[in-house]
Chains A and B, each alone.
Chain A
Amino acid sequence: MSADANSMGRQATAAPFAIELKGISKSFGPVQANKDINIAVPRGTIHGIIGENGAGKSTLMSILYGFYKADSGQIFVGGTLTPIPDSQSAIRAGIGMVFQHFKLVQNFTVLENIVLGAEDGALLNTSLTKARKVLKDLAQEYELDVDPDALIEDLSVGHQQRVEILKALYRQADILILDEPTGVLTPAEADHLFRILRGLRDQGKTIILITHKLREIMETTDNVSVMRRGTMVATVKTAETSPEALAELMVGRKVLLEVEKQAPRPGPVVLSVENLRVRDEHGVDRLRGISFEIRAGEILGIAGVAGNGQSELLAALGGMMKASGKVTLKGQDLPLSGAGADGQSRREAGVAHVPEDRHHHGLILDFAAWENVAFGYHNDPKYQKSALFMDNDALRADTEKKMATFDVRPPIPSLAAKNFSGGNQQKIVVAREMEQNPDLLLIGQPTRGVDIGAIEFIHKQIVALRDAGKAILLVSVELDEIMSLSDRIAVMFDGQIMGLRSPESTNERELGLLMAGMTGKTTGEAA
């Protein structure tokens, strides 16, 4: 078993591997999350671990970091057998972890966060002084500069992530695990992160990068291991593989990375938005007079850097936020404030809404899948047994059907939503909203945190709904997604639409300029 692990580690010569896992298995009840995993990570390399959501990447890393105890198997750190019963032992063994969701105290300074849990002695000041010095050295060495006295809450997401990396380095981590590090970063921040990681590698650190983004794997890693359904299916040198080959290994079949769709056949106007304005509770104008139309059988894509009013646009149209202006759906006025400006009225009017944040809005994580299928449609007559009681049996049957159509795995209606992987959670939301046969579908970040196989599926469903003559408003921060799905693209910046383009006559560069607030004509090299 370990023979194939050894064959790829040519870079490390005879030196022991930084990390070697042998025969790791772990199951949760009937679900086997890891099956006899063998992996060897040579010292001083960036090693990618890629796999669909639910493939067992996070479980494996949690075992390595001492959060879970493997049912069987051994962990070797630097060539010696090292049991890791808890995260303290992991830290002692020189393993540092940067989580997808940061574990920082918001109202502490950077310095205080770094020292937290690693204070030596009762007096804080001595360790703070020491940390300040160490931090300065680290910042110079690795391009990891952060103001040590800034409060975490004042830092950008990219800087907060740097603090997490610094925390690990301060604890003298030689092996750094990053779990989906770029999910929250802008493209520029992600580039900076990868520069930092390469710098760390060149200083002899070992990096394990967990991601489902093929591009990141191809750009940054030396070797890559692919996981599928709890097993390690392959470990290859990055230089000798291709995104298509990796995608196929991940999913177990050929995957279309491009969306196949035919030319749109737009019908009459379904949604008309005129001078839409939103002011948030702090009195800040989030939407500053937006106007557009979407026709039947058309996908309008909204591109833009996150936080430029896209969320408010979806919230206002979905009845979650007060707005002013004029919005009509098939000629009928949609109220924007007061009575009728709520999620129920919108659904009755024929607006379905896949929200940007499925954890906070789209699902009740503690509810079973079947309860989530009724979410927002709990007043729908087809789910009622009588005036008083809901028809839970009909609901369960309906859930089973939707799970089959949308290939939700595992297809167990009684399983709580939180126990599904991100991609399958999204499929539940998408299934619920699309199967209502709406006139207008609002869909925000349809594939955020969703694995490749599911992305392909969700994209196909969106195109199918368009071809069925529905109007679709697509909001995404993934420019690729906007470019490949949209029939028309509107770029938002600072609460306004900077321009409308068709995907055939524009390119990422022009959209990027619009996203940065430049109208494109006179800017030249300004970007």
Chain B
Amino acid sequence: MDRLPRWADVVLVPLISLVFAAIISALVLLVIGQSPVEAFKVMVDGALGSAYGWGYTLYYATSFIFTGLAVTVAFHAGLFNIGGEGQAQLGGLGVALVCLSLPWPHWTIALAAATAGAALFGAAWALIPAYLQAKRGSHIVITTIMFNYIAAALMVYVLVDVLRPVGQMDPASARFPEGAQLPALNDLPLFNLIFQKPVPANITLLIALVMAVVIWAMLWRTRLGYQIRAFGKSEAAAKYAGINPVRITIIAMLISGALAGMMSINNVMGEAERLLQNSSEGAGFIGIAVALMGRNHPFGVVLAALLFGFLYQGGAELGLWTSIPIEMRIVVQGLVILFTGALDMMVRMILGRIFGMVRSARAMRTA
């Protein structure tokens, strides 16, 4: 097959995949008797048409950046971490324990401590599957899926029997103290020029963007990243080079789990301000799609997270303003994942043919 130029590979392939997904989504809408144009307008208006809409889109995107980065780091070590969901929920527990433990004097200190707590709990939840993979050869896909269920069960127990304040009806922790409440974008200088109404997107967005740069530098500029990537490409070669497979597996999964856990400072600390059941709401799984679409590159992950943030918020708007069922958002997401992830090669092949034809036409003209 003809190779594609880099710009086509990075820009054109995902773009065309998206167009395909949009076309099929439109067909589905037509079949259920709705107007695709109308639906598209509602989605764009609701997610991107106002600062308020952006506030939600960015809020969702923040969570997806963290979980997408988590999948990316593990992927570069050749590990498929499907446990982002469980690691994020445990991260939420870490956030809650930190926030409830002290009457925090200022949100900056609380944020630093909660970030550490989230990362620590998320990493700890990834440690056991990592150890089992490295030492016992238990496949990480299986163990991380299992740990999602264990995490869900553990959270029910903790929220019902441990953290629930006496007399409260729903399984949730107490509200976090005032000093542990994060500023939303409308509370931050400069940002409040754009965001004048309260929005859920908060300071965590900036942490997410910083983490994307940090992870990029870690993967491509440090010895550790070099070893992770080498190990991920070829375990046999890594052994030849004296890269310790056990060490790299565990470190990569710790970083991955920590990133997934850090998502919880966005939703638990920044938005809900208490720990709820199923706090991550599937963002751990969306992270897989985000990483796939972002080509496992931190900057790609940021862009893909924005797209999925848009789909999430736009889809919610659909449910709110039209008679299109909110489940349509899951259909659209599914199609985006299908085309950008699974059918990626198809688009690539078609483009390869076209580029090949253009090239030979050009060669003929010059010959």
Q: Contact residues of A with B, CB < 8 Å?
A: 25, 27-29, 69, 71-72, 318-320, 342-347, 353, 355, 360-367, 371, 374-376, 378-379, 384, 388-390, 392
Give Cα A389–Cα B364 distance, bound, in whole angstroms: 48
CB-defined contacts of B227 to chain A, threshold 8 Å: 378
Contact residue among B2, B222, B237, B363 (Cβ-Cβ distance under 8 Å from A360): B237
User: CA of A374 to CA of B223 in the docked complex: distance in angstroms?
Assistant: 10
Given contacts A72-B364, A364-B230, A378-B227, contact A388 B237 (CB under 8 A): no
Q: Which of B241, B244, B359 is the one whose CB lies under 8 Å from A71?
A: B359
Contact (Cβ within 8 A) A375 B223: no
User: How distant is B71 from chain A, measured CB to nearest CB, in Å?
Assistant: 19
Q: How far does the alpha carbon of A376 sit from the alpha carbon of B230 in the complex, in Å?
A: 10
With beta carbons under 8 angstroms apart, the residue of A347, A371, A389 that contacts B242 is A347
Contact A389 B222 (CB under 8 A): yes
Given A71-B363, A389-B221; A364-B234 close (CB under 8 Å): yes
Q: Verify if B106 is at the interface (C-beta below 8 Å from A).
A: no
* Other A-B pairs, 12, CB within 8 Å; known A343-B242, A344-B242, A390-B222: A25-B363, A25-B367, A27-B363, A28-B2, A71-B364, A320-B239, A343-B241, A346-B242, A364-B237, A378-B227, A378-B241, A390-B226
Contact A367 B3 (CB under 8 A): no
Task: Kindly report which residue of chain B lies nearest to residue A70, judged by CB atoms.
Answer: B360
Q: Contact: B240 with A355, CB < 8 Å?
A: yes
- Whether B223 and A390, one on each chain, are in contact in the complex, defined by CB atoms closer than 8 angstroms, is yes
> In the assembled complex, which residues on chain A have CB atoms less than 8 Å from the CB atom of B230?
364, 367, 375, 378
Chain B: residues with Cβ within 8 Å of the partner, total of 26
Chain B residues whose CB sits within 8 angstroms of the CB of A72 once the complex forms: 360, 363-364, 367
User: Which are the 4 A-B pairs with shortest beta-carbon distances?
Assistant: A343-B242, A344-B242, A376-B241, A361-B240
Q: Which residues of B contact A353 (CB under 8 A)?
A: 240
For B240, give the chain A residue with the smallest CB separation: A361
Contacts of A379 on B, CB cut-off 8 Å?
223
- Asked if B36 CB lies within 8 Å of chain A CBs, one says no
Interface residues of B in 213-232 (CB under 8 A from A): 217, 221-223, 226-227, 229-230
Q: Which residues of B contact A364 (CB under 8 A)?
A: 229-230, 233-234, 237
Task: Please name all residues of chain A whose beta carbon is closer than 8 Å to the beta carbon of B359 when the two chains form the complex.
Answer: 27, 71
Within 8 Å by CB of A361, from B2, B226, B236, B363, lies: B236
Interface residue from B237, B239, B243 paired with A363 (Cβ < 8 Å): B237
Binding site for A on B (CB under 8 A): 2-3, 217, 221-223, 226-227, 229-230, 233-234, 236-237, 239-244, 356, 359-360, 363-364, 367
A467 to B82, CA, bound (A): 55
**Docked pose: A24 CA to B243 CA in angstroms:** 46
CA distance A376 to B234 in the complex (A): 13
Complex Cα–Cα for A107 and B243 (A): 33
Minimum C-beta distance from A204 to chain B (A): 35
User: In the docked arrangement, what's the CA distance between A353 and B239, Å?
Assistant: 12
Q: Which residues of A contact B356 (CB under 8 A)?
A: 69
